[in-house]
Amino acid sequence: MSSLAVVDLRIVLVEPSHPGNIGAVARAMKNMALSQLVLVKPKAFPHAEASARASGATDVLEQARVVDTVADAVAECGFVAATTSRERDQNIRVADVREGAPRLVAEAGRGPAALLFGAERTGLTNEDLALTHLLLRIPANPDYCSLNLAMAVQLVTYEIHRARGASYVQPPAEVPLAPAADMERLYAHLEEVLQQIGFRDRTASGKHLMERIRRFLNRAELDQNEANIMRGILTAVQNKRRAAGPRG
């Protein structure tokens, strides 16, 4: 994975009612390399269900801060964003989460920033939103756009993770691709076996079968082991024919 931009970002859950959701949020955060969790008046925390749902992210729970108000949670933050699934009539800038994530990353790179998630049943109040600079919207089915708290956190923190520069880099294969000379031997062997079993070239001109076989095997990008397996199969076919003897 590529190196990530450094951010000072707090994930703030406002009055979460289910301890299991808190644990699932901790897990989602750790998945996306975030560790600062702030809980505003949680109904039950600490709690065994939260620890169980954290599933390896209990360190995020152990470091979590519990505060009494949203104002306390964001007191040190110069920039505050929030998520919402409802249309709001306040004059607050609203952005698609993919578009807003880079802004949040940039602000959290300059100084402390916060991202608010509302209570499971009621969301964020207008008083909470008065403290925010940006609302993030997750594009979802308009007929059913309400997301579970942990799911919403996972989706938004994923976009933040990508905006920080995360990308998947495939590790090099343990076995190198088959060299051209090995592939030429495979093609020659295959053509020999096709002739032995009487497989006719049914292409339009009757001359392009091996060209097509070369193309699809090249697309397969066989490694050395796979090319050897193919040669072994072809040899087994030849041995089987020899053992069976001539027809007639």
pLDDT digits (tens, 9 = 90+) for 128-172: 999 999 999 999 888 887 889 999 999 999 999 999 999 988 888
Say which CATH number the domain at 228 has: 1.10.8.590
Cβ atoms of residues 72 and 43 within 8 Å: no
pLDDT digits (tens, 9 = 90+) for 44-70: 999 999 999 999 999 999 999 999 999
- What 3-state DSSP class applies to 235? helix
- Comparison of pLDDT for 43 and 206, the residue scoring more: 43
Cα Rg of the chain (Å, integer):
29
CA-wise closest residue to 84 among 32, 161, 152, 162: 152
Range of the domain at 128: 9-163
138 in a domain, yes or no?
A: yes
Residues 148 and 25 in one domain: yes
Number of domains in the chain: 2
- CA–CA separation, 113 vs 79, rounded Å? 5
